[in-house]
């Protein structure tokens, strides 16, 4: 069975704070949404692969969020944890239409 993409409205682009995370719940998924310094909007799984830290509460620097529990550095672009730590989190495509932000969820 092929999964389809569902577009979920999460807010207005202008209302998302830069460099701070926002937690969005979609069904059973918890997603962290970030607006980077250059205005890109990224969406990733909201749990660090290390000990489950809430990534939306982490500090964003460039394209990386630092887990608030143990300072793991995770890319908001591809979800990969920076070495020497290992692991990754799910990333979600984001669309912006008329200033509204949508996260695409595979169902």
Domains belonging to the chain, first-starting first, are: 5-106 (2.102.10.10)
Half-sphere exposure (Cβ direction) of 59: Cα atoms closer than 13 Å: 6
- Which two three-digit tokens encode residue 12? 């207005």
Percent of the chain with pLDDT over 90: 84
Distance CA 107, CA 96 (A): 20
Do 90 and 103 meet the contact criterion of CB atoms below 8 Å apart? no
pLDDT score of 47: 95
Instruction: Encode pLDDT of 53-103 as tens digits.
Output: 999 999 999 999 999 999 999 999 999 999 999 999 999 999 999 999 999
């Amino acid at each position: 069975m092929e999964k389809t993409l569902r577009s979920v409205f999460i807010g207005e682009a202008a209302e998302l704070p830069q460099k701070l995370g926002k937690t969005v719940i979609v069904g059973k998924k918890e997603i962290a949404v970030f607006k980077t310094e250059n205005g890109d909007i990224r969406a990733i799984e909201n749990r660090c692969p290390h000990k489950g830290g809430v990534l939306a509460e982490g500090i964003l620097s460039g394209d990386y969020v630092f887990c608030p529990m143990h300072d793991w550095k995770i890319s908001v672009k591809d979800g990969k944890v920076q070495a020497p730590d290992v692991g990754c989190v799910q990333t979600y495509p984001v669309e912006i239409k008329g200033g509204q932000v949508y996260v695409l969820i595979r169902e």
